Amino acid sequence: MRVHILDDWHDTLRGLPCFELLKGHDVTVWTDHAEGDALAQRLHPAEALVLFRERTAVDRTLLERLPDLRLISQRGVYPHVDVAACTDHGVTFCSKTGGDGANHAAAELTIGLMLSAMRQIPEQMASAKAGNWQTGVGKTLRGRRLGLYGYGRIGRAVADLGRAFGMEIIWWASEEGRARAAADGETLAASRAAFFAESDVVSLHVRLKPETRGTITGDDLSLMRPGTVFVNTARAELVAPGALLEALDAGVTGAVDVFDTEPMHDPADPLLAHSNLICTPHIGFVTEDEFDRQFADIFAQINAFAANEPINTINPEVLGPASGGRPPVRR
């Protein structure tokens, strides 16, 4: 198949073991980002399209301009893909969600951001490099209360790391998530308000879906005390618009890996430029190890489709009785 891989900005995938799974396919790797006409033109010959998380959106307008496209393969949730449009255009959409085990890269970055905020690592580094030596006094993690919002794989991995630092772990989540946490013997906050008011660090670990967009409100963050830390390595859209900026203005420290607009290139953006913000450019999953694990799944989906045995299919109706159970050949 003619396979096009989008948005491999650092040309990493070709050097990973998983890339061998594409042996025998005609593979094109795009290391820059394109949109609109430029994107449609470069993808015109593609039969299979590999998405690099949510870096590129796939909508009906784009699909209408890709007559040979038969498959889109990715991993994880898919708010950036118009699944109905894929179905209407006979494009099979495969995405393995959940995976096997936690994303430890994201969990580790969460702790890194937490440490950076509590120990003032960016400020201390800047001061030392400027010849000013120490600046300010940080806080230790041991004995602090870590509030984890969302009882999933990554949140539980962060809890394990937090406990290794001697932190007290409390939880808040959906009703179903709180029930699972309680069944596992975890400590729940007395209420949602108490969770935000009594945590020294709040870390968000929820999947972005239509029903979770804006889950964290301005009222929630207003309960956090000045000097406490809000960490988000999940998705920016989980926080209500403007709520984080208001919290920073009120004295909360933000430690985030995600933004509403990505890539973020404006150094004057009010959030990016805020003195109470510590940030990284969406690198929670950006390690060689995590890439190899995730793209092995993505490339396996391509091979399964090519063998007429598709897996992790989100819109199986494309492969229904009308197609005889075989991937449709586009004309």
pLDDT at 325: 43
pLDDT given for residue 99 in this prediction: 59
In SS3 terms, 130-196 reads as CCCCCCCCCCCCCCCEEEEECCCHHHHHHHHHHHHCCCEEEEECCHHHHHHHHHCCCCECCCHHHHH
- Residues sharing a CB contact under 8 Å with residue 253, sequence separation 6 or more, in sequence order: 117, 227, 228, 229, 230, 276, 277, 278
Active-site residue identified among 262, 288, 309, 317: 262
Spans of the chain, pLDDT less than 50: 321-331
CA 182: distance to chain centroid? 26
Which of these, 286, 244, 277, lies nearest to 55 by C-alpha position?
286
What stretches of 23-144 adopt beta strand conformation (E)? 26-29, 48-50, 71-75, 92-96
Is there a contact between 144 and 168 (Cβ–Cβ < 8 Å)?
A: yes
Q: Which helix (H) or strand (E) holds 300?
A: helix 288-306
Instruction: Specify the amino acid at residue 262.
Output: E
Dump pLDDT digits (tens) for 56-67.
Answer: 999 999 999 999
Identify residue 94 by its one-letter amino acid code. Answer: C
Residue 282 annotated among the catalytic residues of the structure: yes
Contact, 73 vs 51, CB < 8 A? yes
235 has catalytic annotation: yes
Instruction: State both tokens at 148.
Output: 């984890």
- Out of 4, 75, 89, 235, the active site residue is 235
Q: Single out the catalytic residue among 75, 153, 282, 293.
A: 282
Residue 219 CA neighbour count, 13 Å, CB half: 5
Digit-coded pLDDT (tens) for 229-286: 999 999 999 999 999 999 999 999 999 999 998 888 999 999 999 999 999 999 998 9
Confirm whether 262 is a catalytic residue: yes
Task: For residue 69, give the nearest of 53, 95, 87 by alpha carbon.
Answer: 87
